[in-house]
C-alpha cells in the first residue's frame, strides 16, 4: 500500500523550495530519476497516459523542470515503481529551473531556438492582430508533441503550444 506522498495534504502543490541548488546536484538527481524511468521500460508517452499528463510535461518532471503534484505522485509511483519515495518528495518541491548552457549546443534544442528566432517576429505580429498587445503565458501553458505525416508520407513533428493570452495593461496611478 502506498503512503500518501503529499508534503502538505491541504494543497495540490507545495510551496517548499527544492533542496537541489547547484547544477551538479540537479544533474545527479535527474540522472537517478531517469534511471528509474529507463528501468520501467516505459516511454514518456506511456507514463504521461498513466498519469493523465501531457507527454512534454511528463518529460519536464523527469528533468526537474516542473513540479509534481501530490495527486500525480501516487500515479507516477505506480507507473514507475523504481522511483524512490525521497525522489518523489523532492519532485513535489518547487524546482530550481536551471538550464544547462551546454544543452543549447544540442542540435534538436538549437533548432527549437532557431524556430523562435526565425518566426518570432511574425508570430508576435499575428498575435497582436488577433489578440492585441500582450504575451502568451508560459505558466498557464500546455505543450504536446505528436507524430504527424506529410503529403509524401514522411514523418513530421507536430508541436502544439497552448498558452493563456495576457494583455499588457496601462499603468495608471490610482
- Region 62-89: what's the mean pLDDT? 96
DSSP H or E segment with residue 117: helix 107-131
- pLDDT at site 8: 42
d(CA 124, CA 133): 9
Q: Which residue is catalytic, options 137, 146, 154, 170? A: 137
- Region 73-88: what's the mean pLDDT? 97
User: Is the pLDDT at 136 greater than 60, yes or no?
Assistant: yes
Give the chain's domains with CATH numbers. Answer: 23-98 (1.10.260), 102-167 (3.30.1160.10)
- pLDDT at site 45: 97
Q: Which residue is catalytic, options 111, 122, 129, 170? A: 111
Reading phi first (left if > 0) and then psi (alpha if -120 to 50, else beta), residue 16 is in: beta
| pTM confidence score | 0.78
Alpha-carbon torsion (81, 85, 89, 95), positive or negative: negative
d(CA 34, CA 54): 17
Does the annotation mark 137 as catalytic? yes
Could you say which DSSP state residue 83 is in?
S
- pLDDT at site 105: 84
Q: Which residue is catalytic, options 16, 28, 85, 114? A: 114
Q: pLDDT tens digit string along 5-60?
A: 444 444 477 788 888 878 889 999 999 999 999 999 999 999 999 999 999 999 99
Helix (H, G, I), strand (E, B) or coil at 143: strand
Q: φ and ψ at 121, to 5 degrees?
A: -65, -40
- pLDDT at site 122: 94
Owner of C-alpha cell 508560459: 138
Amino acid at each position: 500500500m502506498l503512503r500518501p506522498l503529499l508534503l502538505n495534504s491541504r494543497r495540490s502543490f507545495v510551496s517548499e523550495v527544492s533542496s537541489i541548488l547547484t547544477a551538479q546536484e540537479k544533474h545527479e538527481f535527474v540522472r537517478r530519476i531517469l534511471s528509474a524511468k529507463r528501468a520501467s521500460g516505459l516511454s514518456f508517452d506511456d507514463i504521461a497516459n498513466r498519469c493523465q499528463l501531457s507527454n512534454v510535461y511528463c518529460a519536464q518532471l523527469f528533468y526537474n523542470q516542473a513540479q509534481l503534484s501530490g495527486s500525480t505522485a501516487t500515479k507516477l509511483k505506480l507507473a514507475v515503481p523504481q522511483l524512490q519515495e525521497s525522489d518523489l518528495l523532492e519532485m513535489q518541491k518547487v524546482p530550481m529551473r536551471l538550464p544547462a548552457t551546454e544543452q543549447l549546443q544540442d542540435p534538436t534544442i538549437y533548432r527549437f531556438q532557431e524556430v523562435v528566432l526565425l518566426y518570432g517576429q511574425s508570430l508576435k505580429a499575428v498575435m497582436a492582430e488577433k489578440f492585441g498587445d500582450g504575451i502568451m503565458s508560459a505558466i498557464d501553458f500546455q505543450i504536446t508533441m505528436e507524430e504527424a505525416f506529410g503529403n509524401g508520407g514522411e514523418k513530421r513533428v507536430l508541436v502544439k503550444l497552448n498558452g493563456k493570452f495576457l494583455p499588457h495593461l496601462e499603468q495608471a496611478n490610482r
